[in-house]
Amino acid sequence: DAKTTQPNSMESNEEEPVHLPCNHSTISGTDYIHWYRQLPSQGPEYVIHGLTSNVNNRMASLAIAEDRKSSTLILHRATLRDAAVYYCILRDVGNTPLVFGKGTRLSVIA
Amino acid sequence: SAVISQKPSRDICQRGTSLTIQCQVDSQVTMMFWYRQQPGQSLTLIATANQGSEATYESGFVIDKFPISRPNLTFSTLTVSNMSPEDSSIYLCSVAGTREGYEQYFGPGTRLTVT
C-alpha cells in the first residue's frame, strides 16, 4: 500500500475552520484517498473520500492537489465533538481492507 | 450503512487462557476484517475473514494464535489463544461490501486486558 504522511497533532479553536494535510507522493492512478476518524473510545468512522476532484459532504470537504500527491481535509467549523484522530488512507479500487497509519490527533479548544 | 455489534465489549483474562470475540452485522456483507489496536497506537489489520474458507492473515499474525471463523455473511469470531499480557488491546471487527458500496464500517471494539 502507498504510504501517507500526516502531522502527529494539530490544534484548533472551536468554531474555526481546520485544514488537515496529508502527503501521498507515491500514490498510484487507481488509489482513492480516504479519510476516517476515530473519536475517543470508538471505532473509526468514514469521513470522506475522493479520486481526483474535490469532494464535499455534510461532514467535511476534501481538497485534492492537481498532481494528487497531497490532499487536505477541511472541517469548516470545528466543534468539540470533532476532537479525534484523523486518518488519511490510500485504498485501491475494490474491497481491499484499510491500512491505517498513525493519523493526526486533532484537539479542539473551546 | 452497516451496524456492527461485538461481544464481549470488554474482558479481563488470565494469561494462558483463550477468549473468543463475536462480531454480528445487521446486514449481509462481502468482506469482514479483524483489527487490533494496542494502547495508544493505530489500528493493525490482523486478517480478512473469508466465508467458507480459511482466513487470510497479515504478516506477523498466525492462525494458531488468532483462529477466525466466518460461517455466514453476517457473523464472524476471532479467538485470542494462549493469551499473554502483550495481547492486551482493543480488537475491532470491520466490514465492507454492503449494498451501498465498499466503505468500511467498524464495530465498537472489544477491550481485552490480560493479567
Q: What is the pLDDT of residue B21?
A: 98
Residues 49-78, chain A, touching B (beta carbon < 8 A): 49
Query: B42 vs A87: CB contact, 8 Å cut-off?
Result: yes
* Predicted local distance difference test score (pLDDT) of residue A45: 95
DSSP secondary structure string for all residues of A60-93:
-EEEE-TTSSEEEEEESS--GGG-EEEEEEEEES
Using DSSP's 3-state secondary structure scheme, residue B32 falls into strand
Q: Residue B97 above 80 pLDDT?
A: no
Of the partner residues A87, A97, A103, the one whose CB lies closest to the CB of residue B33: A97
When the pLDDT of each residue in chain B is averaged and rounded to a whole number, the result is 94
Grid coordinates belonging to B67: 483462529
Q: Per residue of chain A (110 residues), what is the pLDDT tens digit?
A: 569 999 999 999 999 999 999 999 999 988 999 999 999 999 999 999 999 999 999 999 999 999 999 999 999 999 999 999 999 999 987 678 999 999 999 999 99
Q: Distance (Å) from the C-alpha of residue B16 to the closest C-alpha of chain A?
A: 27
Looking at residue B52, its pLDDT comes to: 83
Nearest to A97 among B4, B48, B109 (CB): B48
